Structure 1
Amino acid sequence: RSPGLFFSLAGFLLLFTSLWYLSLLYLVWLFLDWDTPQQGGRRYQWLRNWTAWKHLSDYFPLKLVKTAELPPDRNYVLGSHPHGIIAVGTVCNFATEGTGLSQVFPGLRFSLAVLNCLLYLPGHREYFLSCGACSVNRQSLDYVLSQSQLGRAVVIVVGGANEALYAVPGEHCLTLRNRKGFVRLALRHGASLVPVYSFGENDIFRVKAFAPDSWQHLLQVTIKKLLSFCPCIFWGRGLFSAKSWGLLPLARPITTVVGRPIPVPQCPQPTEEQVDHYHTLYMKALEQLFEEHKESCGLPASTRLTFI
């Protein structure tokens, strides 16, 4: 995400130089291109293929594990867990070719759904859109999954920013029990549901956790409701030394396991009973995926997945 932030800052600073007109031209382009995030975004494969993504994947290292085939003759809604602090496993595996996504799942076109506000920051939006991101709202996701060409795969970090509050190393707590919008989306389009879990996502930063009844936790939840992001106190390593504190993520292995698809019928107006049924099936499949792979990913056999 750093390149996007850099270009946003650079565009702002240009306003105070003799090249101010470049920023003005970009604002005109932003106005003309305003609806692109709601229409599936756009992607540049050459950017997704940057060698830098492979170096980033090697840093942790990142690993993408396929447990079943995802045939390109249908569409998919992938629920990715957990969010962690920055969802680095989800972003690197599904918005780049750092772990060879197109070779692992040939024929599929993945679209990472992100917060709408991230796709309207000048400069920053171009970076996200170029990696194949689209808005996480209903209009955008309906547009992607309603295309005539099959093989579309929408990736949604279901727990969202709220899960950053529980991104404590060694813990596996997911905000999922009342998150059912992704199931409704799958039912409206008859897209198969696919559970995804990134083991190690919560280990790349240290997080200051507050008690649920503390004023600090209440403040975090309130800000999250107002601004759609959750302010957390976290730290990693320094730029030049792994022993110093800083904002670089720690080099901890992240293994993203993609589960088996759950077939879903197409129901343009799904009932609550249908949504609850497939939501329950999804939760069971995700828990089974976690149990099957936790020990091979370095977790003790006693580790359990918690849903809130």
Structure 2
Amino acid sequence: MRDTEFEQKLRQRTRVDRTELTKPVSGSTTPDTPLPEDDDKAKAKGGFFNSLRDEMSSYRSDRSRKSSGGQFGEEGLVPHYGLPRLDACCSIQTPMRRRLQTAVVAWHISSFVFLAVLSIYALSNPMLWFASIPYTIYFIFDRAPGNGGVVKRGSHWFRSLPIWTWYCEYFPINLDRTTPLKPTYTEKKPSPSEKTKKSSIFNPKSWKLFRRTEKYELTGPRYIFGYHPHGIGALGAFGAIGTEGCGWSKKFPGINVSLMTLVAQFHVPLYRDYLLALGISAVTRKNSLKVLERNHSICIVVGGARESLMSSIGSVDLVLKRRKGFIRLALESGNVSLVPVFGFGETDCYNIVHTSENSFSHKVQLWMKKNYGFTIPIFYARGLFNYDFGFLPFRTPITVLTGNPIYVEKKISNPTPEQVDHYHDLYVEELKKLYYDNRHKYGYGTVEMQIAG
């Protein structure tokens, strides 16, 4: 099987109704496929390694079903698990552009670790101290990630590099909107007096080098985009909003947006500057207010680490009921529109090994979330040279769709709980409308949206 044929079949999995996942498979239950009610008991009793073993066993049974024409056939949700071993490896005839796409995604997944190791090596090598010592001083005193400095540090040129187009083509990621958004900035038109004013070579202020004229003027609201669901790493949000790979500035002209992420990621040398160059900043209250004050918009992945633990293929489980901090930001800033954003296909990029609540691994995940603000789900998908196991995401289409804006006109320094709840209810209503009006179009069938606390 050629690589292109395999990927075409892999893309067909988004056309499958997600409700098929909940239907029982015909035939008797085998020892490799325990009953649902016994699954959690087995995981709790055996711990992490037994739960991982059971997860692998279920996929082995899926392969046998495929060979006998079962639920997971050629157009099933996980067709790659039924491939022979040779067909599960990348073809030597894979086009170069597809290799580049895979390489860019591999870089994005591993850049955190790679740049962390590189910075440690630079500090431990005396030959590189001429560069590492000045950078360390700069790293200690620079406060750009937490005080709105991303407004000046973000580089449109870096966001527009061809590698981000390859990144979006890998899945592929598409950016669309249900309604146009009013630009925050529009190009300033010169007044008649400015057109007729003659410059003098004897007046330095009229020289182009010294002229300070604003090219753009503020004409619209700022925006707080709420991205759902989190999935593993919010891959769709990074490609569509964190870069120009999907043409953000062309589809939303005049709206400069900063994607927000965990503060811990800005504690890694080099990686912090890499994120700032992309216009990505720390998701703290102080920093968010600073960015909004400078008339830039922000995008927050609302569900956070807890939602990533709930992620699974074919599900729409959101953590939103008690997530009201972004609503307070809008009320405390004023002249801000809240915009729900849904990433159709975001949760289909990885398989997740779900741990029971009483297992040791689940307790470790919750401990990491409580103490460090993030957690690491146990996930896997495909590899760099194979399709059946690894840490690269599947090539599954992701459509990032923006909904209707909810305008917050007045600035309220100390919003009451009733005011926060009012706009939170409006936001949830618009998010549900965005999902239910478009779920059939993107292969979600009759899957219901589940909103947790």
Q: With structure 1 as the length reference, what TM-score do the two structures score?
A: 0.94
Specify the code of the residue in structure 1 equivalent to 2:409.
P
Report whether the alignment pairs 1:158 with 2:302: yes
Q: Distance in 2 between matches of 1:113 and 1:58?
A: 23
Partner of 1:68: 179
Measured after TM superposition, the shift of residue 217 of structure 1 is 2.7
Report whether the alignment pairs 1:135 with 2:282: yes
Partner of 2:403: 259
Q: Distance in 2 between matches of 1:174 and 1:260?
A: 19
Q: Distance in 2 between matches of 1:284 and 1:212?
A: 31
Deviations 1:29-56 (A, max 9, x none): 1123234432241211111011011111
Report whether the alignment pairs 1:277 with 2:386: no
Partner of 1:211: 356
Equivalences for residues 25-64 of structure 1 within 5 A = 25-41=134-150, 42-64=153-175
Partner of 1:110: 257
Does the CA-based 8 Å contact 1:3-1:127 persist in structure 2? no
Does the CA-based 8 Å contact 1:236-1:250 persist in structure 2? yes
- Where 1:154 maps in the other structure, the secondary structure is strand
Partner of 2:123: 15
Measured after TM superposition, the shift of residue 296 of structure 1 is 0.7
Runs (4 or more) in structure 1 with deviation over 4 Å come to none
**Alignment partner of 1:229 out of 374, 390, 404:** 374
Does the CA-based 8 Å contact 1:4-1:127 persist in structure 2? no
Equivalences for residues 154-193 of structure 1 within 5 A = 154-190=298-334, 191-193=336-338
Q: Distance in 2 between matches of 1:32 and 1:40?
A: 13
Query: Which stretch of structure 1 is more off in the superposition, 48-57 or 6-15?
Result: 6-15
Task: Work out the number of aligned pairs and report it.
Answer: 303
Change (3 A) 1:35 1:64: closer
Deviations 1:95-148 (A, max 9, x none): 10000000000000001111111122101100100000111111101111112x
Does the CA-based 8 Å contact 1:38-1:135 persist in structure 2? no
Equivalences for residues 194-209 of structure 1 within 5 A = 194-209=339-354
Specify the code of the residue in structure 1 equivalent to 2:288.
L
- Where 1:77 maps in the other structure, the secondary structure is strand
Q: With structure 2 as the length reference, what TM-score do the two structures score?
A: 0.65
Does the CA-based 8 Å contact 1:68-1:260 persist in structure 2? yes
Specify the code of the residue in structure 1 equivalent to 2:340.
P
Partner of 2:434: 289
Does the CA-based 8 Å contact 1:40-1:141 persist in structure 2? no
Measured after TM superposition, the shift of residue 213 of structure 1 is 4.8
Q: Distance in 1 between matches of 2:232 and 2:447?
A: 21
Partner of 2:196: none
Change (3 A) 1:290 1:213: farther
Q: What's the C-alpha RMSD, in Å, of the aligned pairs?
A: 1.4
Whose radius of gyration is greater, 1 or 2?
2
Does the CA-based 8 Å contact 2:145-2:287 persist in structure 1? no
Query: Which stretch of structure 1 is more off in the superposition, 203-212 or 127-136?
Result: 203-212
Q: Distance in 1 between matches of 2:145 and 2:434?
A: 35
- Where 1:15 maps in the other structure, the secondary structure is helix
Q: Distance in 2 between matches of 1:236 and 1:128?
A: 25
Specify the code of the residue in structure 2 equivalent to 1:13.
Y
Measured after TM superposition, the shift of residue 200 of structure 1 is 0.6
Q: Distance in 1 between matches of 2:162 and 2:361?
A: 41
Does the CA-based 8 Å contact 1:184-1:270 persist in structure 2? yes
Q: Distance in 2 between matches of 1:9 and 1:25?
A: 18
Q: List alignment gaps of at least 5 residues for structure 1.
A: none
Q: Which has the higher helix share?
A: 2
Partner of 1:87: 234
Q: Distance in 2 between matches of 1:32 and 1:112?
A: 23
Q: Distance in 2 between matches of 1:118 and 1:37?
A: 12
Measured after TM superposition, the shift of residue 26 of structure 1 is 1.1
Q: Distance in 2 between matches of 1:90 and 1:119?
A: 18
